[in-house]
Amino acid sequence: MAKKYYGRVFNADTVKALRSSERIICQKIDDAEIYVCNNFFGFRCTLPEYNEIVRPIAQRDPGNWAICNGEFSESRMDIKKLIEKAVSDTPRENLLQSAPFLFQSGKGQIKPFYCKAADFVIFFDVSLVSALDCTIVGTGPVNMAVAYDGDDPVGVLLPIRHNPEWLPPVRAYFNTDGAPVRKNAKTDPAELDTLKAENKRLRADLSEMQRRFNETREKDPAAPDNAAIIAGLQKELADEKARADSLVDACAVLREKLAAAEKAGPAPEAEKNDVHAEAEKVRAYWDAFDGIRAAIAGVKTSAPVVWLDGPQVNAKKDDIRKAGGLYSGKRRAWYFSIR
């Protein structure tokens, strides 16, 4: 079953994470800028998104308020400033990559992430990671991470305190996966020997954790076997890499077309008419879907744009992306550029 979305990046897991929170805090700037947080994550949403996610839980209009264990009070917490500070302090190149396995902590599951650019491992509760369907960047293992929807920073996530025993297998995975685990690695023999020794130690630690896991599984036949989960996640990772490669190829083709178009100069009048006909064809196709409205901007230009809006746009965003649609973070809307 496809995941149901409430707006851009919010889904049923967002509602579930808020519903299980002892505290919810709200800050309203205007209908297009409403901030919500609990003890573990915060995000920015619009009024329609608020109505889908927060209102059913809080039973209140957006405003400057807090609910703690069912008790309502006014709040002066500046969530907007908190998120903006995290964004300014967090380099975009510090992308967090997910490791395809989980750790158990109490009643919850913990998901590790690794940052190649800054060489650190960070851990999040699985329910938080799934609450915001975003790209995540960070600055360190205990610092707040920022969630991005394309180029738009929409929220922050707090990491959890981790067990030091979890670190070696995560580093070992990314090391054996071919990813560098040290910055500014040297090529002299002494440095290579050090790297080999570290790799050997990490592999030994990973083997020891696997041995302990096997012992636990033998003692308790009902203990979970993560092999199928890991295999599924590795396949998902491979699919994403293949998709990324296809996007790179598509970008190369578009660059060639752009260079050829710039070299050719202005299009003949007949070609411009074809562009307008293509724009109308795209508009008619997407406008035929229930809950989606399509409109053409720049009708009299040689490069019209078809903009999409409506309550069902996000539900079709994968199809829109596959058809060549692009997302505007500034307008927070999907569009097709006809050239």
The three-state secondary structure class of 150 is: coil
Given this model, what pLDDT does residue 187 score? Answer: 45
Q: Among 68, 146, 50, 163, which Cα is nearest to 112's?
A: 163
Helix, strand and coil in the chain, % to nearest 5 = 45, 25, 30
Comparing CA positions, the residue from 130, 155, 131 lying closest to residue 144 is 155
pLDDT at 145: 95
In the chain, the largest separation of any two C-alpha atoms, in whole Å, equals 78
d(C-alpha 290, C-alpha 128), whole Å: 32
Looking at residue 20, its amino acid is S
Q: Which residues in the chain come in under a pLDDT of 50?
A: 177-187, 223, 267, 270-271
Rounded CA-CA distance 48/310 in Å is: 11
The pLDDT of residue 334 is: 87
Torsion sign over Cα 275, 281, 285, 287: positive
> What pLDDT score was predicted for residue 54?
94
